[in-house]
Structure 1
Amino acid sequence: MIRFWAVVNKELLCYAQCIMQFEEDEEKQRKKRRWWGRDWLLRRSIHGQYDALMAELQLEDPEAFVNFLRLDIATFHELLASVEDRLTKNRTRWRDPVSPGLKLAVTLRFLATGDSHHSLMYNVRLAHNTISGMIVSVCNAILDVMEAEVMKTPIEPQDWLQVAERFQGRWQFPPVLGALGGKHIAIQKPSNSGSTYYNYEGFCSIVLIGLVDADYNSDGFRLVMLGLASTAKYGTTVPSTNQYNREPLSFDIPYYIIADDAFAMQSWLMKLFPHRALAHDELVFNYRLSRARRVVENAFGILANRFRCLLRTLQVQVDTASLIVRTCVVLHNYLRERNPSNDVMTLDKEDANHNLYDPIVLTLIFIP
């Protein structure tokens, strides 16, 4: 018995020596870091955009500050105060941590422009890998603090009735509980994904599906979903959930959601008549439905115009892309709730004869 344990201990000692030798060899082969921090990056407090340019914009040109970060100075500081505790890191004897304000500013600038991490690196003087992790942490902080507050999906029947009344009052189309639409968000092809994210338009994407209220100046997106784009039409992703098929639809009057031809027909969904040999009443119905459904197209347009990263191909992993899109929607609702009049000039308008026109160029669009 003693000999047995002696043999076991000898083998364990041999295994331990092999592991230690392997770790020593691996440590020798590991590439040594050439710089603890590049000198020009460490001068960010003097020449970086956050400490230099943004300070000038706050003092001299508030309008340019809004264009730079897509929100005004007061809103930026309010948003910073709400997420600051989640972004603050402890100071160590090795280096000072990146300030929460810089983290938030870099993330907002990325959402506003969609610039690559390497491009942002030369503007804010932070390493690209630091920016990559920073964007994820800031987006998570914003979602944790604000998502439940600004994504106000009605629950009670009375809340849904108020939505239907606004559609009736503004667009003369009863009884509608929301306009449903989708937008492809381009992403780089994930490795080993095959055709999972490949859509019918010829690029890889995830699909943002949104349910929008009738009033531009209220709550923006009531409900959003993110799904794959592997099917021929993104509308086929909706029946896989019960998000829309809820019992508030079962009133005495058949309430429904309006959508376009991209979505599969459902008992709770109203779509256009096919565009062939339509009677006059059917043409009028199609016009009214398209007129009411226009709000979701405008909502996606305002969202993408404000956060232009949604107009570019996101060079990130799929999970990170979904996180970025959710953050854009939450910030969109937050800004619409705080400053509802900011986007008035980007909305469709009608004259006294119900003809559409662009409020910027005042060009009439005739509708028969």
Structure 2
Amino acid sequence: MTSAPQTSRHAAGPQTLGFLLLDNFTLISLASAIEPLRMANQLAGRELYRWYTLTLDGGPVRASDGLQITPDASTTVPLALDMVIVCGGVGPQRSVQREHVAWLQSEARHSRRLGAVCTGSWALARAGLLDGFEASVHWECLAAMQEAFPKVSLTTRLFSIDRDRATASGGTAPMDMMLTLIGRDHGRELAAGISEMFIYDRVRNEQDQQRVPLKHVLGTTQPRLLEIVALMEANLEEPISLDELAGYVNVSRRQLERLFQKNLHCSPSRYYLKLRLTRARQLLKQTPMSIIEVASACGFVSTPHFSKCYREYFGIPPRDERLGSSAVDLVPVQLGQDAAVMLQSASFESVPDTPVSAAMSALDQARGEPTYASVRLS
């Protein structure tokens, strides 16, 4: 995976993003993507980002929760966009139209950076704009996309940034993606300030995975396997032996092995170890528990054995995971009370027949906030 090119922290003007809203898009994903941009402007005290919501004809569109949103413009309005982000939701196969595909392909020809949230990746894939790229999508859409678009390198990561493509799985994952992009554009201190304002305790990175429910992977065809996995998940601190697990569901040890190999492509012991190590990683990243305590909580009899297993599975020892997490996690910033600065008048100049970005009015209203211009950009 190749990271997207970083934007200069001293860019002459704000970056402009267009959010293409598909029918039945998820409102939480749109808000998770836009709110960090608003707060970036507020904390910086100037317009770093501006954004427009778009539909094909400029007409209202309904979100998946039934709320109707009136966009800023239609896709026919010539906007100088730096990035286009497709906001999908329920039923992307039905929502994506030929006109969406044609417009996205046109934007790509103009060298726009492209992104998607929730199931918006479906639109980019249908336009052929994710071929050869790593991409994330909500887990409900994962299997269908893998079948429909084999040239796309789909992943279960919360979000993926691959060159000039940025895709997030949905829910609050777009916030993690946008904070990562903002941090690359303008520094870690600004991203830290945004996460603090949103009471967002830990910004997840590109290595964090979606938790795909096993029922979604297996359906209802393997009730015994689902029961065994549920037993494993409920007994991470004191692992149950494989013979005991087999006895609980009335199968032999050999049948148990076959179930896992056929459906999950690994041995039951390997799957159990994966569950324990994944839990250990969460505890290392999200709690102050010591490595010894984490090892014990995840069923390892000794710290050296835990460290060996952890290194073999994740590629780094738990101590480095803990140090790396604290090194990159966003630290709180000291927010000043009197750091307001004058807005550059150029930020509010509009081009005739061009809609006014909501970023301008939001920034103007934020001038009275105590956090306004509280983060100094280098």
Normalising by structure 1, what TM-score? 0.27
Normalising by structure 2, what TM-score? 0.27
Which is greater in Rg? 1
Identify, as 1 or 2, the structure richer in helix.
Answer: 1
